[in-house]
Amino acid sequence: MSRALRNENGGQPVNGDARSLIAASGLPLQSQLLIAQVVKRTRLWKREKAAITAELIAHFHDGLEAGNSVEELIAAFGNPRTTAQLMRRSKKRNRPLWWRGARRILQGVGIILVLYVGQMVILLTGHPKPKIDYAARLCEKSETIAQADRAWPIYRQAWLLDPPLHIDWKPGPVRSNRSLIDSHPGDPKWNQAIALVQQHRPLVEAARAGGMKPGLGITIRQRRGFEETQYRAIFPLRSSGPVVSPWQMGEMDCPETGAIVEMVKLLMIDLRWAATQNDPARVVQDYRAITGMFRQIREVPTLIGQLLVVIYLARTDQALAEVIVQNPDLLSQKQYIELLHTIPSARDAINVSAESSRAEMDDLIQRMYTDDDCGDGRLTREGVEYFFRSEWTRDQPPKPSVASALTLPLLSAGIASRREMTQVVREQYDLLDRTFNRTLRQSLTPVPDEVTQHVQTMRGSLLTSLHYWPLSVNIPQFTGAGKDLHIARATHDAVIVGLALESYRLANGGYPQALDALVPHYLAAVPLDPLANQPLLYTLRDGHPVIYARGREGVDHGGVRPKTTAGYGDIPETGDWVLYPPVEEAAKQ
């Protein structure tokens, strides 16, 4: 008995259980039952129960010895249920600190868990209800093109017959390092480039035929149903399967662009090759087909497609200018006129708008959030699904996963609201459009780049990246695009003037004294110098035409290219910006 009554606070263990203590107490049965009832209801640890039992037993013995009856003692005892509750509470306060701390933590976790599950249930009831079919809007133009006017069936057939192709395109600054598409006769890669054109003759033929078609005629709906093998053949650069689901961000991605750009590269090589083979008709045909393909790429005006057109059109213009400067008598006057009819329309392709990319982001938002019809909404499980997908161009809509349900409240707390996300998208694309619309002089001014700053705000830390996810990782920057646009336009304008001058020479036996002589028979107007906003300048050097702009300082140096000029797109700090002939050919003269 005494062993059972050791003080647990004093470090003396209390052994034995409450039941055996009561049985051995010798107390009247009623009091034993009462003690047993109270102790049982305390639901305390075994040793705590034993301590209480011993104390109550002693209490009853003391009461009986003092002359009280058992009935009196029971009456004075109080309510057994209340006693058990009070004892339980007070005994628990005596438990060790670690136990009380762990209990508090568990209670806190429990409360958080209940709130989390409650929030999860609320959020799981919300679903996105997209109202605008942005993809259909984007493909509106393609839908209206007549079957006979569509280029895509021609391209597709050729791609299915041809082996996969991806041509190295990165431009090297020196002759020995030039890429395949920029290589000239005599360059180390020239024979390799020619072999490539010969190897992919079906694609070259398809490009020439398709490039003359008014439209591309491929829509998102038409992509559906491609078999994987066919898809891989047509889109060799793509790592993932066909874009077929209306529930994915990559919906507006246009993989056809990649396939067409490969064909453009082949024709760029062929254009130079045709000149060496003294085949002017092929030069004209290749150039016209290339500009036709650029127009087709812009039919579904993705941002990346538009930027690719700007880059490759400038390089095609460079190639054409080099051919003309090298062989001014290669083309007949009729062929020059034919090109002069083609080339101004191609200038329309040197234009970039972020509208499609903006639509893509707006589309993503409407597929991520619910819509309260007031511009706001809650994050949905469908939206969170994007978080767990490494690729967004798989062939099936995201299946609801346990992970998305479990993380929904957490991500909902971390990711911006629909209203905030919409606002951020609007700001970002307004800045981007402003960048695209800056003048060349503005683009050359070293000012803080607002677009980059805005993106950096989103990517400032892991938390902000999460807050603005997925915009923070996917929103485009292209801060240099504004300058590239102006340079491409100026290059293109100089080629137009060059063609007009050669056409004039063939008709009149010599170059004119001033560009005004070309207007209106060869040119509608003399194109403007984008820096000075005045007509481009012209001079003859060693009997060859030189077309130039005034350069950054705005002074006419007589068409002399500074020796430090690096190449295409290099606008010198001092001296003229010579646009025609291209740098390479001028060096030979």
Partner 1 sequence: MRVEKELMRGAGPMAVMQLLSGGERYGYELVESLAKRSSGVLAMGQSTLYPLLYNLEAKGLITSRVDDTGKRPRRYYRLTDKGKRRLSHNTKQWKSLLDAMQGLGFGPAAEEGVA
- In one letter, which amino acid is 281? A
Q: Does 76 bind partner 1 (CB under 8 A)?
A: yes
Select from 15, 30, 69, 90 the one that contacts partner 1 (CB under 8 A): 90
Structure tokens at 574: 């001092």
Q: Does 7 bind partner 1 (CB under 8 A)?
A: yes
Q: Rounded CA gap, 88 and 160, in Å?
A: 80
Report whether 274 contacts 322 (CB < 8 A): no
Q: Does 78 bind partner 1 (CB under 8 A)?
A: yes
SS3 label, residue 534 = strand
Q: Rounded CA gap, 289 and 154, in Å?
A: 13
Select from 29, 67, 93, 445 the one that contacts partner 1 (CB under 8 A): 93
Minimal distance in Å, beta carbon 86 to partner 1? 4
Closer to partner 1 at the Cβ: 52 or 300?
Answer: 52
Closer to partner 1 at the Cβ: 10 or 543?
Answer: 10
Q: Rounded CA gap, 155 and 18, in Å?
A: 90
Q: Does 220 bind partner 1 (CB under 8 A)?
A: no
Terminal-residue alpha carbon distance, the chain:
118
Minimal distance in Å, beta carbon 10 to partner 1? 6
Q: Which stretch binds partner 1 (CB under 8 A): 57-65, 194-202, 388-396, 505-513?
A: 57-65
- Sign of the torsion formed by the C-alpha atoms of 448, 452, 458 and 462: negative
Q: Does 79 bind partner 1 (CB under 8 A)?
A: yes
Closer to partner 1 at the Cβ: 71 or 133?
Answer: 71
Select from 32, 53, 83, 335 the one that contacts partner 1 (CB under 8 A): 83
Name the one residue in this structure whose structure tokens are 């087909």.
Answer: 289
Q: Does 45 bind partner 1 (CB under 8 A)?
A: no
The CA-based angle 224-220-165, given to 5 degrees, is: 80
Q: Does 49 bind partner 1 (CB under 8 A)?
A: no
Q: What is the dihedral of CA 388, 390, 392, 394, to 10 degrees?
A: -100
Neighbours of 22 (CB within 10 A): 21
Q: Which stretch binds partner 1 (CB under 8 A): 53-61, 191-199, 395-403, 479-487?
A: 53-61
Select from 15, 23, 71, 86 the one that contacts partner 1 (CB under 8 A): 86
Reading across the β-sheet that carries 537-541, which strands appear in turn?
537-541, 544-549, 577-580
Q: Which stretch binds partner 1 (CB under 8 A): 84-92, 194-202, 321-329, 452-460?
A: 84-92
Q: Does 174 bind partner 1 (CB under 8 A)?
A: no
Closer to partner 1 at the Cβ: 93 or 588?
Answer: 93
Q: Which stretch binds partner 1 (CB under 8 A): 82-90, 106-114, 479-487, 552-560?
A: 82-90
Minimal distance in Å, beta carbon 38 to partner 1? 8
Report whether 444 contacts 572 (CB < 8 A): no
Structure tokens at 330: 């290669």
Q: Rounded CA gap, 12 and 23, in Å?
A: 22
Structure tokens at 302: 């993705």
Minimal distance in Å, beta carbon 26 to partner 1? 10
Report whether 57 contacts 22 (CB < 8 A): yes
Closer to partner 1 at the Cβ: 54 or 354?
Answer: 54
Closer to partner 1 at the Cβ: 78 or 188?
Answer: 78
Q: Does 55 bind partner 1 (CB under 8 A)?
A: yes
Closer to partner 1 at the Cβ: 25 or 443?
Answer: 25
Helical H segments across 126-279, by residue range: 134-138, 140-143, 152-161, 190-199, 201-211, 220-223, 228-234, 256-276
Neighbours of 71 (CB within 10 A): 11
Residue 479, C-beta contacts closer than 8 angstroms, at least 6 positions apart: 435, 449, 451, 452
Select from 19, 59, 184, 221 the one that contacts partner 1 (CB under 8 A): 59
Closer to partner 1 at the Cβ: 59 or 459?
Answer: 59
Q: Does 98 bind partner 1 (CB under 8 A)?
A: no
201, 400, 491, 568, 571 from 564: Cα distances, Å? 40, 60, 19, 12, 10
Minimal distance in Å, beta carbon 380 to partner 1? 49
Q: Rounded CA gap, 582 and 492, in Å?
A: 11
- Count of positions on this chain that bind partner 1 (CB under 8 A): 33
Q: Does 91 bind partner 1 (CB under 8 A)?
A: yes
Minimal distance in Å, beta carbon 94 to partner 1? 5
Report whether 562 contacts 571 (CB < 8 A): no
Closer to partner 1 at the Cβ: 103 or 201?
Answer: 103
Closer to partner 1 at the Cβ: 1 or 507?
Answer: 1
Q: If you ran DSSP here, which 8-state letter would residue 438 be given?
A: S
Select from 54, 254, 261, 475 the one that contacts partner 1 (CB under 8 A): 54
Q: Which residues form the interface with partner 1 (CB under 8 A)?
A: 1-2, 5-7, 9-10, 12, 51-52, 54-56, 58-59, 61-63, 66, 76-80, 82-83, 86-87, 89-91, 93-94
